[in-house]
């Protein structure tokens, strides 16, 4: 076994959090993996993984080696793939976590097309708003919509979510159209979340002054789609994302409220754990996903 293979073995042990799991993926004996890992530690005269009883943790040196070895192994594997089997099918599992309503409203078509285009990839799309632990759970990617991303994750911004304050014409026929932020408190406000008190943030003027409005919602929900339907039925004013609004504002089905104020944008990130080395399936999915946002 050569030095590149040793580094590959080490990255597999790290990614699959154990010698037994790595041995199973590599289809070799656990004793062989353990022996090669010991030789690797001897070669670099340092402990790479703390494997004392009841403890399994990659050391600081091991994490640095993992990052650098991952790049070296990745480059080597790309050379092997490009020059030995340029037309080979890309196959294997790919598991992603996607925010539920964003995934269903915006990404479902792209995911179906991806599945049809690459049938040898076993795609698993988990539509759930739960924040998964990418280091401990078996996900290749997660899509996060947030103003601030965890710096511990490897992330790439792929898009932006914009929000609009809006109401149905039927609601505005019965209520005075608000002209200032303070006017909102006299209205029925539909809020995303389950808190008894809500807060909306607005940006105004060239100075980008930030203002907050605190209120007691007339309706709470953790479903943006439900709030959208309630807004369409004239139940109040809601702060909704563009992937749920669609063309309802442009077609006049919903009316913008206080358009002179901006609402802070959220960024859409494609993220993966720093312990997860990008494989061909992941690189391909990332490429197709970014093209979707570019076209959109």
CATH number of residue 186's parent domain? 3.40.190.290
**What percentage of the chain reaches a pLDDT higher than 90?**
51
pLDDT-derived band at 220, boundaries 50, 70, 90: very high
Arithmetic mean of pLDDT over the chain: 88
Residue 86 reports pLDDT greater than 50:
no
Model pLDDT, residue 236: 97
172 with 244, same domain: the answer is yes
Confidence band for 78, pLDDT divided at 50, 70 and 90: low
Question: Is 109 in the same domain as 239?
Answer: no
Question: Which percentage of the chain shows pLDDT scores above 70?
Answer: 94
Instruction: Note whether 78 and 96 are same-domain residues.
Output: no
CATH number at residue 143: 3.40.190.10
Q: Alpha-carbon Rg of the chain, whole angstroms?
A: 25
29, 52, 84 - which closes a domain: 84
* Final residue belonging to a domain, choices 56, 84, 112: 84
Whether residue 7 contacts residue 73, with contact meaning beta carbons closer than 8 Å, is answered with yes
pLDDT digits (tens, 9 = 90+) for 87-113: 455 778 899 999 999 999 889 999 999
Q: Which residues contact 36 (CB under 8 A, 6 or more apart)?
A: 1, 6, 9
| C-beta separation of 76 from 21 below 8 A | no
Q: For the chain, how far is it from start to end, CA to CA, in angstroms? A: 47
Owning domain of residue 37: 3-84
Whose tokens are 């050379």? That residue is 79
The enclosing domain of 10 has a CATH number of 1.10.10.10
Same domain, residue pair 282 and 253: no
Beta-carbon contacts of residue 100 (< 8 Å; ≥ 6 apart): 127, 128, 129
Q: Which of 145-154, 247-256, 279-288 has the lowest mean pLDDT?
A: 145-154
Residues 213 and 278 in one domain: no
136 and 279 share one domain = yes
pLDDT at 87: 44
DSSP state of 147: S
- Secondary-structure percent of the chain, ordered helix, strand, coil, rounded to 5: 40, 25, 35
pLDDT at residue number 84: 57
Sign of CA dihedral 215, 219, 220, 224: negative
Distance (Å, rounded) from C-alpha 69 to C-alpha 64? 8
What's the domain count of the chain?
3
- Determine if the pTM surpasses 0.85: no
Cα(269)–Cα(159) distance, integer angstroms: 7
Location of structure tokens 């959220």: 266
C-beta separation of 131 from 253 below 8 A: no
Residue 238 backbone dihedrals phi, psi, to 5 degrees? -130, 155
Q: Which of 84, 114, 129 is the last residue of a domain?
A: 84
Region 198-218: mean pLDDT is: 90
Alpha helices, DSSP H only, in the chain?
Answer: 3-15, 19-26, 30-44, 60-84, 100-102, 108-117, 169-172, 224-232, 242-245, 280-295
In whole angstroms, give the CA distance from residue 62 to residue 50. Answer: 9
Q: Which residue has the higher pLDDT, 68 or 191?
A: 191
Residues 148 and 272 in one domain: yes
Q: How is residue 218 written in tokens? A: 């007339």
Residues 106 and 20 in one domain: no
63: which residues sit within 8 A by CB, 6+ positions away? Answer: 274
- Is 245 found in the same domain as 167? yes
Examine the domain organization and report whether 285 and 148 are in the same domain.
yes
The reply to whether 194 and 256 lie within a common domain is: yes
Q: What is the pLDDT of residues 35-55, one digit of tens each?
A: 989 998 898 899 999 888 878
- pLDDT above 90: residue 163: yes
What is the C-alpha to C-alpha distance for residues 278 and 271, in angstroms, rounded to an integer? 11
Q: How far apart are CA 273 and CA 242, in angstroms?
A: 28
Nearest to 12 by CA among 289, 282, 292, 279: 279
- Sheet containing strand 255-256, edge to edge, reads 219-221, 189-192, 237-241, 163-167, 255-256
107 plus 27 within the same structural domain: no
pLDDT digits (tens, 9 = 90+) for 230-268: 999 999 999 999 999 999 999 999 999 999 999 999 999
């Amino acid at each position: 076994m050569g030095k590149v293979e040793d580094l590959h073995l080490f990255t597999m042990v790290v990614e699959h959090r154990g010698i037994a799991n790595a041995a199973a993926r590599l289809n070799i004996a656990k004793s062989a993996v353990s022996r090669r890992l010991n030789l690797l530690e001897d070669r670099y005269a340092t402990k790479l993984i703390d494997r004392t009883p009841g403890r399994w943790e990659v050391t600081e040196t091991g994490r640095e080696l993992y990052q650098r070895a991952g790049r070296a192994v990745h480059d080597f594997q790309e050379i092997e793939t490009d020059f030995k089997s340029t037309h080979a099918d890309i196959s294997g599992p790919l598991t992603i976590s996607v925010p539920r309503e964003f995934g269903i409203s915006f990404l479902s078509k792209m995911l179906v097309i991806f599945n049809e285009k690459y049938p040898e990839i076993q795609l698993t799309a988990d539509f759930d708003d739960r924040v998964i632990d990418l280091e401990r759970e078996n996900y290749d990617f997660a899509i996060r919509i947030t103003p601030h991303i965890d710096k511990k994750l490897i992330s790439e911004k792929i898009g932006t979510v914009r929000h609009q304050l809006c109401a149905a014409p039927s609601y505005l026929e019965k209520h005075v159209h608000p002209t200032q932020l303070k006017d909102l408190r006299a209205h029925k406000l539909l809020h995303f979340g389950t808190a008894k008190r809500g807060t909306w943030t607005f940006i105004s003027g060239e100075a980008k002054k930030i203002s907050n409005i605190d209120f007691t919602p007339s309706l709470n929900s953790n479903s943006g789609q439900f709030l959208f339907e309630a807004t369409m039925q004239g139940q109040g004013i809601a702060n909704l994302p563009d992937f749920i609004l669609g063309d309802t504002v442009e077609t006049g089905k919903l009316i913008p409220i206080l358009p002179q104020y901006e609402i802070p944008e959220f960024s859409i990130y494609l993220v993966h754990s720093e312990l997860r080395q990008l494989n061909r399936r992941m690189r391909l999915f990332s490429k197709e996903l970014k093209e979707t946002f570019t076209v959109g």
